[in-house]
Structure 1
Amino acid sequence: MSIAHLSLPLTRHDICKQCNGELHACKLCEFYDIAKAKHCRETIAEEVRDKDRSNYCDYFKPRENAYSNTGANAAELAKEKLAALFGKK
């Protein structure tokens, strides 16, 4: 799903029309990085504890590929490869 049809900047009240998920959330931000302190590459942003929920961060920048379902597809592909390797139980 592309963010092209969304009005930017996103507000903390914006939700996904397909899944009703909150869109102004850390895990959907360009700066989200679990390898960094506070899981954020923006060094002066305040810490947000719940990365899945909407927040008031002024540095939020929507990540273009954050709204795709590739993670679920990758997980399914990995399961299929494991099943092929070890056989289904």
Structure 2
Amino acid sequence: MKRVFYCHKCAGHWENDTARPGFKEICTHCGAYLHCCKNCRFHLPTAHNQCYIPDTEYVADRKGLNFCEEFEFRSGTPEQDGQKGQREQASEKFAGLFGELPDPPAKTSFDDLFRD
């Protein structure tokens, strides 16, 4: 039974029986390498070496191909995997702790500072 996986770059689908593409296999939609850290279920930017599995080899280009034997394609679409900007993620976590963030104060022009 074929399973569907999604490219980290374009969210294009890739169907295969296994969760491991070939080392040099590319996305048919955008040409990005499929066997890369950004597509791996163990990719964790906050962990040492940005990988959940300790003692993996260092990979300089997280979007480029690598030869990691631990690679497994992540499940779900990039949107489901929380591919949001760090600022958005931090804001959501902060809002969860203290409630909604207040609206920022209206910006004033430089001339408004010196008016009576």
TM-score, normalising length: structure 1: 0.67
Name the structure 2 match of 1:51: 62
The partner residue of 1:27 within 34, 38, 62 is 38
Counterparts of 2:49 and 2:25, CA distance in 1: 23
Q: Aligned pair 1:5/2:15, yes or no?
A: yes
Q: What's the Cα RMSD here?
A: 2.7
Question: C-alpha offsets along residues 36-69 of structure 1, whole Å, 9 cap, x if unaligned?
Answer: 001001102111111000100000111012xx35
Q: Paired residues, what number? A: 74
Question: Displaced runs of 4+ in structure 1, greater than 2 A?
Answer: 6-9, 68-71
**Structure 2, unpaired ranges of 5+:** 6-13, 89-105, 107-116
Question: C-alpha offsets along residues 6-57 of structure 1, whole Å, 9 cap, x if unaligned?
Answer: 2533111111111111100001101101110010011021111110001000
Name the structure 2 match of 1:17: 28
Structure possessing the higher radius of gyration over alpha carbons: 2
Q: Percent identity?
A: 24
Q: Normalized per residue, which structure has more strand?
A: 2
Q: Normalized per residue, which structure has more helix?
A: 1
Quick one: higher RCO (CA 8 Å, sep 6+), 1 or 2?
1
Name the structure 1 match of 2:114: none
TM-score, normalising length: structure 2: 0.53
